[in-house]
Amino acid sequence: MITKSAKKAFRQNVARRAKNAKVKKALNAIIKKYKKLVQSDIKAAQAELSKVYKSLDKAAKENLIKKNKASRLKSRLTKLIARKTK
């Protein structure tokens, strides 16, 4: 016999998992778009960098990714531009 609270917890888990997957997919899409811009258009990539930072910070704040992972990604993505502008 499953308790009423266990059923509710399961519903919440399903909803949260769906939301988290959607946000992570969007975050990965933003990062991918940024990497393509770095290859083609540096000016547009520099403008896009703040959006990438914002998305990473928000994901870290919501515990979708860890804080250090967000920092590491920001560092690596910034280095991409630095290497291309030299």
Cβ proximity of 62 and 23 under 8 Å: yes
This prediction's pTM: 0.86
What is the fold, at CATH topology level, of the domain defined by 4-85? Methane Monooxygenase Hydroxylase; Chain G, domain 1 (1.20.58)
Q: How confident is the model over 36-76, as pLDDT tens digits?
A: 999 998 999 999 999 999 999 999 999 999 999 999 999 99
| Listed residue (61, 6, 52, 1) closest to 29, CA to CA | 52
> Domain-by-domain residue ranges, the chain?
4-85
Q: What is the DSSP string of 12-78?
A: HHHHHHHHHHHHHHHHHHHHHHHHHHHHH-HHHHHHHHHHHHHHHHHHHHTTSS-HHHHHHHHHHHH
Q: How confident is the model over 1-35, as pLDDT tens digits?
A: 889 999 999 999 999 999 999 999 999 999 999 99
